[in-house]
Amino acid sequence: MILVLNAGSSSLRCALFRPGAAEPAWRAHIAVIGLQPQVTVDGVVLHGEAPPPGDHAAAARWLFERLPSAPSAAGHRIVHGGLRHAAPVRLDPEVMVALKGLVPLAPAHQPQALACIRAVEETWPGLPQVACFDTAFHRTQDRLAQLYPLPRALIDEGFVRFGFHGLSYAHVARTCPHGRVLSAHLGHGASLCAIRDGRSVATTMGFTTLDGLMMGTRSGAVDPGLLLYLIREQGLSPDAVADLLNERSGLLGVSGISDDVRVLEASEAPEAREALDLFAYRIVREAGSLIAALGGIDALVFTGGIGEHAAHIRAAVCHDLAFVGVSLNEAANARGKGHLEEDGTAVKIRIVPSNEEGEIARSVSDLLDLP
C-alpha cells in the first residue's frame, strides 16, 4: 500500500492506494488542525474522535495509528520544489535541506509537509518516501513564460515564475490530454493554467502562491507600488503587509463576511455579492491572458472545491468568456456533471474532480517501480 499525505495550511488529507489503483482503498481528512479538529474517514464524520492538540505531525501520527494496514512507501504533496525539482524525487537528507530552504516561499504549506515527512520517518524508520511537487508541472513552460522583467542578476539567482497547483493540473492534463485547455483550479487557493497537449504553457501564480487570482483570503496580483506605499506611507511592517495580503484579503477582505463562497452566496449583503462578482471578473481577465498564450481555446475545465461545486461562479465565468466561443448549457451546469457546453459549440466545458492524491500515488508507484 502507498500512503499519500497532502498537507494544507490547516488540514491534512491522508489516503492509502494500491499500486496502479486510481481510487484509494482508504482515506481520511482532518480539518482545522490546531483549533478544533474535524475528522472524516471514508466519507464518515467521526464524532468524539480527534487528534490531540498540536501540529500536522501530531495529527499525522494520530492517523497512522488508525490505518487499516501498514504502508510500503509514502508520497507527499510538496508545494514548492524550486528550480531544481522538475519531477518527483525520493527523499533523502540532501533533498530535505533543499526543501527547508524553500519554506519562505510557501510558509503556509511547506513546513506542514515537512512535519508530515518527519512523522512518517519516526513511525516507520527507513520507509521509502517520495516528494511530489506542485511546481514541477510548470517546468515545461518556455523560458519567456517564466521570466520576470527584473535585473539579470536576480533572474540568474532564481527569481522567476514557478507556478503551483501542478498536481491538480497534471490530473487535468491526464484527463484532457489534447488540444488547448484552460484549466481553472478554484478553491481557497485559486489559479488558472494554460495547457497545450498535456503540457503547461502559462499559469497565473508566480514566484509564490500569492500571485494571480483573487482567492479565499489572499489578494492575488496587486500593484507592487501599492505595497511600497503601505510600507513607506502607512507605516506597515513587511510582516503586517504579508498578513494583510495572505490572511485578510480576497473574498474575506472584500466581503468583510467570509472566505467561503457558500456563505457569501447565501448572504443578502451587497458586499458579499461584490466579492463574488470580483472573484469571477478576475478569473475572466486572467483567462483572457492565458487564452492569448495558448493561441485560442478548445476546452475549459473547472476543478477544485469552488470549480466543482459553485455553479453560479462557473456560469458567471462562462458568460463573460462568450467572446471566445464559450457557451454554457445552464441545465447541465446546474447538474454539475457531464458535458456543460451547448450542443454544437466548439469549446468544450468540463468539470474534472481534483485528484492530487491519485497523482501522488501514481508518481510513487512509477518512481519506486512498485508492482
Q: Torsions phi, psi of 136, nearest 5?
A: -65, -40
Interhelix angle 356-368/166-175, rounded to 10 degrees, is 90
The sheet carrying 26-31 orders its strands as 44-46, 38-41, 26-31, 12-17, 2-7, 73-78, 129-133, 89-90
Is the distance from CB of 286 to CB of 183 less than 8 angstroms? no
Helix (H) or strand (E) holding 133: strand 129-133
Residues in the chain: 371
* Contact by Cβ (8 Å): 171, 354: yes
2 in Cβ contact with 73 (< 8 Å) = yes
**Rounded distance between C-alpha atoms, residue 90 and residue 72, angstroms:** 14
**DSSP secondary structure, 93-120, as one string:** HHHHHHHHHTGGGSTTTHHHHHHHHHHH
**β-pair type (38-41, 26-31):** antiparallel
Range list of H helices, the chain: 56-64, 93-101, 110-123, 143-146, 152-157, 166-175, 224-232, 238-247, 250-255, 261-266, 270-294, 304-309, 311-320, 330-335, 356-368
Give catalytic status of residue 134 as yes or no: yes
Spatial CA neighbour of 85 closest among 148, 132, 153, 26: 132
55, 92, 134, 197: which is the annotated catalytic residue? 134
Rg (CA), the chain: 20
The C-alpha atoms of residue 223 and residue 281 are separated, in whole angstroms, by 17
Active site residues: 134
